[in-house]
Chain A
């Protein structure tokens, strides 16, 4: 066994996407990185698992039975634990391109983006219009509302924060999004799908917050630009599941000298005064014949919340049900993959319900199957399945349903500057990775004192080759 270095620039704990992007970027920038995970696989909370592992994780079967066997080869399944999709024009796509991690991955479009209007038997599902032309054809609006929506979308396209002449007489630093909607005379239902299915806000707090309009407009634009990039929907998705993303960035890190150790537990974080300076760890899990204990130092430690239970706080709970189907979602034109958003107001909630559906078209399951994940932010302390019910109602016959306890969302209590421990946030309830990449940038800034500029990374790599 090759020797473990006595000193690294950075130790990274956990191989979730956030950690792997940081590890990759830091290695490309010349840092000496040691990357550890206590699990025997990559991805942490952002892994994709096979169907046998999923049954075993949730334990929803009788002991002695092997229910996964009726679903074909276990390894033909790559089921995401975190239901997210990539915005085609989003930050993660930028990082993937600028680091050339795209070389290891293949992406396909997500076939559609839909929104529900109404509730119960009268509910309708319709494609989210992404441009003025689609707005005019959308069944979501009446004839006059379509025209108002068209002029709103056209205005969003020409809006320039720096040019007050494009602000329709509003003060962007003080006015609210409600006032913008009022300006265009948009109806409540239209505001609903703009805010929740295009701007992708999880709740309605953005509507009345002064100065929030530019952010909302930026989000609507990101949606429109992402749709415009490839067509059908604003989303793309990697073949074989989201778990490929951390693996791709881990490979990037390794290629630039990063050292990887899975199946390695951290026994102790070493301190000098208030600063973390290294770790004691043991390589080799419970069932491995040889265990190797080692101690190593580092200038800083990055990690996911699970490695620092005393340094994080719970900021909310996500509810999630992973469902195996044998048919596409109703009302989605038999899309092989889609996102369906049920805005909170349509079903009397404060938070939206999301459904992310992928299928064999993305090599995540055998032919004929669909994997739909229904998720939302918990609003009650019990009967959580009822909160997801409007989403589950959209799925039709469910072959298999995996739903655990509410999943706590963690955030670090401190920014890490005091103790050199920089902790990431849990993967939140949003349907995409924009908040994940925000967290990557934030951690990078806290840890190095520099802004992370992803655009230059390709040049760094080319220069070295």
Chain B
């Protein structure tokens, strides 16, 4: 099955490269984008406005010498605010990070609702991680904690989710979160379910530069 494991699969004898779509969910202002910004650019901005301006971000993780996982990370672009996420958002998502704020107990309830929504809308074998963010606030002032670790962890275990408490601000557990997801992805069975345009047989790539590249793949059936 190695031939299906992504575009760069043939580079070395034992190297594996696979790309996966990851979607973010959670209430507004729990730090979804901040976690991604930390993971992708190793940056943090306290006064970051609501999400604007990126179709999706990508970041790769090397699990070992031979295995590279590339995440294509989709942000909600604010469409979760008034419950207006499109089915397109969930379509072909391989994994999801559902974020809540450990200083706001209501945000865990929202997270649980998003998990339900994922189970309804996304692939049935999607890998979901629950992330309790803003750990830095609690480390500074323990009385700010509104969601006990044990409570969230118990829920995550029961629902079959990966679970981490994270801080996008200090980077605590952010890399660990994505690495854990990468390890759980089905690298051996298939490559990316969300292949880029043109990689699918008969698919066409509309971009002006790469437009002609797929001709061979698309026009061979006659």
Residues 73-85 of chain B, each 1 if its beta carbon lies under 8 Å from chain A, else 0: 0000111011110
Task: Indicate whether B88 reaches chain A with its CB closer than 8 angstroms.
Answer: yes
Of A2, A236, A255, A283, which is in contact with the most chain B CB atoms at under 10 Å from its CB? A255
Which A residues from 417 to 452 make CB contacts under 8 A with B? none
Which A residues from 235 to 257 make CB contacts under 8 A with B? 236, 240, 244, 247-248, 250-252, 254-257
Task: Indicate whether A103 reaches chain B with its CB closer than 8 angstroms.
Answer: yes
Contact of A93 among B51, B206, B219 (CB under 8 A): B206
Given contacts A108-B200, A231-B219, A251-B77, contact A102 B206 (CB under 8 A): yes
Interface of B is mostly: loop
> In the complex, A231→B220 CA distance in Å?
10
Query: Which residues of chain A are within 8 angstroms of B81 by Cβ–Cβ distance?
Result: 2, 259-260
Query: Which residues of chain B are within 8 angstroms of A93 by Cβ–Cβ distance?
Result: 206
Smallest CB gap from B88: residue in A: A247
Smallest CB gap from A106: residue in B: B197
> In the complex, A21→B172 CA distance in Å?
41
Tell me how far the C-beta of A13 lies from the nearest C-beta in chain B, rounded to whole angstroms: 14
Q: How many residues of B contact A (CB 8 A)?
A: 34
Smallest CB gap from A252: residue in B: B55
Tell me how far the C-beta of A324 lies from the nearest C-beta in chain B, rounded to whole angstroms: 21
> In the complex, A190→B204 CA distance in Å?
31
Given contacts A259-B81, A262-B83, A465-B53, contact A251 B215 (CB under 8 A): no
Residue pair A255, B77 in contact (C-beta under 8 Å): yes
Query: Which residues of chain A are within 8 angstroms of B54 by Cβ–Cβ distance?
Result: 255, 465
Query: Which residues of chain B are within 8 angstroms of A1 by Cβ–Cβ distance?
Result: 82
Residue pair B202, A102 in contact (C-beta under 8 Å): no
Residue pair A260, B53 in contact (C-beta under 8 Å): no
Which B residues from 138 to 152 make CB contacts under 8 A with A? none
Query: Which residues of chain A are within 8 angstroms of B219 by Cβ–Cβ distance?
Result: 230-232
> In the complex, A464→B55 CA distance in Å?
13
Query: Which residues of chain B are within 8 angstroms of A259 by Cβ–Cβ distance?
Result: 78, 81-82
A-B contacts at CB below 8 angstroms, number? 98
Query: Which residues of chain B are within 8 angstroms of A117 by Cβ–Cβ distance?
Result: none
Query: Which residues of chain A are within 8 angstroms of B55 by Cβ–Cβ distance?
Result: 100, 103-104, 251-252, 255
Task: Indicate whether B10 reaches chain A with its CB closer than 8 angstroms.
Answer: no
Task: Indicate whether A280 reaches chain B with its CB closer than 8 angstroms.
Answer: no
Contact of B218 among A42, A231, A257 (CB under 8 A): A231
> In the complex, A259→B81 CA distance in Å?
9
Query: Which residues of chain B are within 8 angstroms of A251 by Cβ–Cβ distance?
Result: 55, 77, 79, 86, 88-89
> In the complex, A264→B87 CA distance in Å?
18
> In the complex, A62→B53 CA distance in Å?
49
> In the complex, A361→B218 CA distance in Å?
13
> In the complex, A259→B200 CA distance in Å?
33
Seed contacts A102-B207, A251-B88, A255-B77; 6 additional CB < 8 Å A-B pairs: A97-B207, A106-B200, A107-B204, A230-B219, A232-B222, A254-B77
27 A–B pairs (Cβ distance < 8 Å), ordered by A: A88-B204, A102-B197, A104-B55, A105-B197, A106-B195, A106-B203, A107-B204, A107-B206, A108-B202, A108-B203, A108-B204, A230-B218, A231-B219, A236-B206, A240-B88, A247-B87, A251-B89, A255-B53, A255-B77, A256-B52, A256-B53, A257-B52, A260-B81, A262-B83, A262-B84, A263-B83, A465-B53
